[in-house]
């Protein structure tokens, strides 16, 4: 990984490169260059953009001549700071070996840091893809529930351009390695010829970013983004794979981490030998997994009750996939379980090379699986607890395991009623995590929504306020009286 300032070649410094092929023209006939220079200045605005006139001139003179003529007429440079680069050459050349390898660029920076201006000026409009573009194309208002669709569309556009041999910029904030995981896993395991560049924008002044930003992001959110970017350190492919995909909830929010099909010791040894004998890998990678087939990650209480903990099932091993970062056996499970599974491709992760185990599921979406003779093995549906315990009987689950397993981790305490007439905030006694508590105090303008989020308080039980006078908010979001006292009951 090369860190520091990466100089941009001159041919990459202008937006007018034809569809960002970054094709460096060899020797061009002098007469054609002279003909290109003699073109009327009135046609220049049409030749600097994707227009029909440009297409006609390109057919007459050739792309190389037109590119040489355009290169001599750079556009005014927009306002942005030169980013810091980290470049990793994953593949030296593409399959044809004719054109330069396409580059996958991740912009890292808060809103208003100049990501879009730098990306479009350097690579051109065609190669710059952002999740926000989906809202513009569909004419939809921004809503957090639509971010999944927006990022799915963004990922499809990125892969399509890489297949065309075109460099592409993922123009999102990318404040954490997990936000870049889906793209890195797709190009790494999908066999796309590429190199990966991380471009971090240097601007970190909150006031400047808030004024430059086009979406009106509050300064508080910008501060949080800058904090996450600074804690990321030097980005790399390995750090992205180690971080794994984004999770909707923290692991501490539930005591049942996942539900899956587990094997006894004899069957586990057979699974290991099956992979080694067919893949001819010689040995396993650094992190050898506890062999199982994951059915549901971070399940809720109702899911665990209805899935049938302790039931026996037969599965068939159908193929394998071996990569320097992950080794996997693919399998088929009963249709009833497949319908309830969170993984599109059922598999047994054998080992990984210091990356997240969830990398295997994303690798199978793009990798080519090598089939083997089907082998049927027996398994038991179990629950894997946060402490590492495997429970094969529903009655064996520890007392209170369902606490905090709700999707949003709502508070479970009861609120008192202050003298101001407003209902006291509900406080959860679960603790050790953030969550969206059901605060009883409601905003008069929006009676159906709580005014603020809260934090569960470990070991404090149920807390409410019984002060006199006007109710106030405490440092943790709880209701307080004018005397600032909290009453325990």
| pLDDT value of residue 139 | 84
In a shared domain, residues 235 and 265: no
- Give a yes or no: residue 419 inside a domain: yes
Domain boundary among 243, 271, 286: 243
Q: Where are the alpha helices (DSSP H) in 312-450?
A: 335-339, 359-366
In a shared domain, residues 435 and 464: yes
Q: What angle do CA 82, 84, 85 make, to 5 degrees?
A: 120
- Give a yes or no: residue 449 inside a domain: yes
Domain boundary among 32, 47, 71: 71
Closest by CA to 46, choosing from 73, 23, 79, is 73
In a shared domain, residues 89 and 195: yes
In a shared domain, residues 369 and 449: no
In a shared domain, residues 261 and 182: no
329-354 per-position pLDDT tens digit: 999 999 999 999 988 889 999 999 87
| pLDDT value of residue 402 | 65
Q: How far apart (Å, rounded) are the C-alpha atoms in residues 21 and 418?
A: 67
- Give a yes or no: residue 191 inside a domain: yes
Rg (CA), the chain: 28
- Give a yes or no: residue 47 inside a domain: yes
Closest by CA to 321, choosing from 290, 358, 366, 255, is 366
Is the confidence at residue 154, as pLDDT, over 70? yes
In a shared domain, residues 344 and 322: yes
In a shared domain, residues 234 and 89: yes
| pLDDT value of residue 400 | 67
| pLDDT value of residue 254 | 58
- Give a yes or no: residue 1 inside a domain: no
| CB neighbourhood size of 167 (10 A) | 26
What is the average pLDDT value for the chain, to the nearest integer? Answer: 70
Q: How far apart (Å, rounded) are the C-alpha atoms in residues 365 and 385?
A: 27
217-241 per-position pLDDT tens digit: 888 888 999 999 988 888 888 888 8
Helix axes 63-71, 30-37, angle to 10 degrees: 60
410-440: burial string, b at 16+ Cβ within 10 Å, e else: bbbbebbebebebbbbbbbbbeebebebbbb
In a shared domain, residues 453 and 472: yes
CATH number, domain containing residue 167: 3.40.50.300
Q: Which residue segment(s) compose the domain that 437 sits in?
A: 408-489
| CB neighbourhood size of 121 (10 A) | 20
In a shared domain, residues 227 and 307: no
Q: How far apart (Å, rounded) are the C-alpha atoms in residues 164 and 106?
A: 18
Got the DSSP string for 288-342? E---EEEEEES--HHHHHHH-TT-EEEEEEEEEEE-SSEEEEEEE--HHHHHT-S
- Give a yes or no: residue 401 inside a domain: no
- Give a yes or no: residue 434 inside a domain: yes
Winning range, highest mean pLDDT, from 57-66, 374-383, 438-447:
374-383
Question: Considering its fold, how many domains does the chain have in total?
Answer: 4
Element (H, E) at 31: helix 30-37
Give 134 or 406, the one with higher predicted confidence: 134
CATH number, domain containing residue 338: 3.90.1740.10
Is the confidence at residue 410, as pLDDT, over 60? no
In a shared domain, residues 176 and 206: yes
In a shared domain, residues 215 and 280: no
- Give a yes or no: residue 22 inside a domain: yes
Q: Where are the alpha helices (DSSP H) in 105-202?
A: 115-123, 132-138, 147-163, 181-189
In a shared domain, residues 143 and 222: yes
Helices (H) and strands (E) in the chain, counts: 15, 20
366-409 per-position pLDDT tens digit: 888 999 999 999 999 999 987 788 998 888 887 767 654 444 44
| pLDDT value of residue 408 | 42
Q: How far apart (Å, rounded) are the C-alpha atoms in residues 477 and 286?
A: 45
Domain boundary among 213, 243, 273: 243
């Amino acid at each position: 990984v090369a860190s520091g300032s990466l100089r941009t070649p001159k041919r990459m410094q202008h937006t007018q490169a034809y569809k960002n092929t970054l094709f460096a023209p060899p020797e061009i006939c002098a007469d054609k260059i002279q003909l290109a220079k003699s073109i009327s200045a009135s046609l220049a605005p049409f030749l600097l953009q994707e227009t029909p006139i440009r297409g006609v001139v390109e057919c007459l003179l050739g792309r190389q001549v037109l590119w040489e003529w355009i290169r001599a007429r750079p556009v005014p440079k927009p306002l942005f700071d030169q980013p810091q680069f980290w470049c990793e050459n994953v593949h030296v050349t593409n399959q044809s070996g004719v054109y330069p390898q396409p580059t996958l660029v991740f912009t890292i920076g808060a809103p208003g840091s100049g990501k879009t201006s730098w990306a479009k000026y350097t690579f051109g409009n065609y190669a710059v893809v952002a999740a926000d573009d989906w809202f513009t194309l569909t004419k939809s208002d921004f809503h957090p529930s639509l971010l999944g669709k927006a990022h799915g569309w963004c990922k499809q556009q990125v892969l399509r351009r890489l297949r065309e041999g075109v460099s592409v910029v993922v123009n999102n904030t990318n404040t954490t390695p997990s936000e870049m995981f889906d793209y890195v896993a797709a190009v790494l395991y999908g066999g796309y010829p590429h190199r990966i560049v991380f471009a971090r924008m240097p601007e970190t002044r909150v006031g400047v970013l808030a004024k430059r930003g086009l979406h009106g992001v509050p300064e508080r959110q910008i501060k949080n983004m800058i904090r996450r970017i600074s804690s990321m350190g030097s980005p790399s492919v390995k750090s992205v794979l180690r971080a794994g995909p984004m999770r909707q909830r923290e692991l501490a929010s539930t005591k049942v981490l996942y539900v899956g099909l587990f094997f006894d010791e004899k069957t586990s040894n057979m699974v290991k030998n099956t992979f080694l004998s067919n893949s001819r890998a010689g040995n396993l990678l650094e992190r050898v997994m506890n062999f199982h087939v994951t059915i549901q990650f971070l399940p809720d209480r109702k899911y665990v009750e209805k899935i049938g903990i302790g039931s026996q099932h037969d599965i068939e091993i159908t193929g394998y996939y071996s990569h320097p970062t992950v080794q996997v056996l693919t399998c088929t499970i009963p249709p009833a379980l497949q319908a309830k599974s969170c993984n599109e491709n059922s598999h047994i992760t054998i080992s990984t090379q210091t990356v997240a185990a969830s990398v295997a599921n994303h690798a199978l979406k793009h990798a080519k699986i090598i089939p083997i003779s089907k082998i049927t093995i027996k398994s038991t549906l179990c629950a894997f607890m946060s402490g590492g315990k495997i429970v094969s009987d529903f009655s064996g689950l520890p007392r209170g395991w369902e606490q905090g397993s709700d999707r949003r981790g709502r508070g479970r305490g009861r609120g008192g009623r202050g003298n101001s007439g407003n209902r006291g905030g509900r406080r959860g006694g679960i603790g050790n995590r953030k969550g969206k508590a059901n605060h009883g105090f409601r905003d008069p303008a929006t009676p159906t929504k709580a005014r603020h989020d809260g934090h569960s308080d470990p070991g404090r039980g149920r807390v409410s306020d019984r002060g006199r006078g006007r109710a106030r908010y405490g440092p943790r979001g709880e209701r307080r009286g004018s005397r600032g006292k909290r009453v325990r009951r």
